[in-house]
Amino acid sequence: MNTYKPPYVIAEIGCNHKGDMEIAKELIKVAKIFCDADAVKFQKRNNKELLTEAQYHQPHPNPANSYGKTYGAHREFLEFNLEQHKDLKAFCEDIGIDYSTSVWDVTSAKEIASLNLKFIKIPSACNNNVKLLEWLCENYKGEIHISTGMTTKLEIDDLVSFFKNHKRNQDLVLYNCTSGYPVPFEDVCLLDINLLIDKYGSDVKHIGFSGHHLGIAVDVAAYTLGANIIERHYTLDRTWKGTDHAASLEPMGLRKLSRDLRAVHKALSFKRQDILPIEQIQRDKLKNQKG
């Protein structure tokens, strides 16, 4: 019997739509039809709330990737408003793929929660934002997914305790994650999945894996270790202008990842009997040959 949970593949579009709704919809359509992903995920920021005045008006740290003269202008260019997110969610529902969004601040959480999503994600950068976590625990009834990149073990402990205190830990999904773009294989630290499962597996809903590495071999290993929710950044073209494209999968990569995860899920079982029916044919033919 297969005791592994089925894999759930999230295509993290993030800001890889380049601020263009048509590209966003193309990414959704390809993720569903060609890649066989279970969900797509975007991002929502209130940049004036998130950034200081100085950060908002300073130049982008990598001008070649910037869509504006300042970092604030760059971020605003890539931001969809609530009506656009509502449109994207409806588009997802029409073609049968789950829609979700990462939220970076309380204002964004309030806006996105009004769309009644299956789950909302908190990025690693915001998993210590108590006001954000508190608002979601008290006002949003869906799953709350949280990445643990750049987070100490003590901080993860505090995070799970916070959700237990709010009686929301059974809606919590914790992701193993290393915050880097891209992440070299030696820094992926897959065995931390074992630590999360051993320590929190019975307290939270699922353990996930959010990868920023190259290729798809690591994700299959993450699933085999017990992370049934696999999230990868995804783009139509890794050479496009923007920070995340280089650490993203193109459609063929995401398609192969979905295929391989589902194949591995079928394979992760014990033999139902000593000699399987498929083997009996070979046994009859080969095992008792004379000489």
213: domain CATH number is: 3.20.20.70
Domains in the chain: how many in total?
1
- pLDDT tens for each residue of the chain, 291 residues long: 568 999 999 999 999 999 999 999 999 999 999 999 999 999 999 998 989 899 899 988 888 888 989 988 889 989 999 999 999 999 999 999 999 999 999 999 999 999 999 999 999 999 999 999 999 999 999 999 999 999 999 999 999 999 999 999 999 999 999 998 889 999 999 999 999 999 999 999 999 999 999 999 999 999 999 999 999 999 998 988 787 888 899 999 999 999 999 999 999 999 999 999 999 999 998 987 765
Whether 3 is in a domain gets the answer: no
Whether 149 is in a domain gets the answer: yes
Whether 57 is in a domain gets the answer: yes
Whether 93 is in a domain gets the answer: yes
The confidence score (pLDDT) of residue 247 equals 84
Domain that residue 251 falls in? 8-287
Helix segments in the chain, DSSP class H: 21-33, 47-50, 53-57, 71-77, 82-95, 106-113, 130-139, 153-165, 192-200, 217-225, 251-267, 277-282
The confidence score (pLDDT) of residue 290 equals 65
Whether 2 is in a domain gets the answer: no
CB–CB of 142/172 below 8 Å?
no
Whether 25 is in a domain gets the answer: yes
Whether 58 is in a domain gets the answer: yes
Whether 195 is in a domain gets the answer: yes
